[in-house]
Amino acid sequence: MIRRPRRVLPALLTALVLLAVSVVVAVSAIQLALGETPWLSYDAVAGRLHGLTWSAREVAVAGGVAVAIGVLLFLAAVVPGRARTAALDDRTAVSVRGLRNAVRLAAQVDGVESAVVKANRRRVKTVVRTRRAVVGGLGDTVRAAVEDRVGQFALARPPQVVVRVKTGRGTP
């Protein structure tokens, strides 16, 4: 089971544009029904469009913009997003965010000041900072702790564990 992100932003932008167009048309129709001057004059729009030809630059630009928006929306619908889960087996999964948080806690071994973890389905990259001047064995200790924690999840495909130790100024 691989969960993919929802396509909220393209759907929201499309809905907002359609809502704005609908509001302008509805307000203009209501104003016409009440006998007032509409925001958007039908006669002005119809006259402007009637004066255009298929070879006019405005028509080509509008067509190009419509095609570009259509291609972007099509790609947003078809191209898969980044997976938000890592499979435990065929029916269950763990969120990548949960895996990342668990690994960050596991990386906080003795001597580690802070840990930054980037996780996806294939790799768990951990960067730890320490104030120690001599870091002999700290990377191995962190790697063992992280691999043990990742192993507790029993993932279908265990990710590669990468550990990097950064030192700061301080006393050993």
Domain ranges for the chain? 8-78, 86-167
CA distance 81 to 92: 19
Q: Residues 127, 103: contact at Cβ < 8 Å? A: no
Q: How far is it, in rounded angstroms, from Cα 100 to Cα 103? A: 5
Closest CA to 124 of 94, 154, 139, 146: 146
Crossing angle for the helix pair 57-78 and 8-33, nearest 10 degrees? 140
In this predicted model, what pLDDT tens digit does every residue of 3-57 receive, in sequence order? Answer: 566 677 888 888 999 999 999 989 988 998 999 988 888 888 888 888 889 999 9
Around Cβ 135, how many Cβ atoms within 10 Å? 17
Quick check: pTM over 0.85?
no
* Token representation of residue 86: 């890592």
What pLDDT digit, counting tens, does each position of 72-104 carry? 988 888 887 776 777 777 777 788 888 888 889
- The CATH superfamily assigned to 86-167 is Cation efflux protein, cytoplasmic domain (3.30.70.1350)
Query: Among positive and negative, which fits the CA dihedral 135, 141, 142, 147?
Result: positive
Number of helical H runs and strand E runs in the chain: 5, 5
> What would the mean pLDDT of 46-71 be, rounded to a whole number?
91
At 71, list the tokens.
């291609």
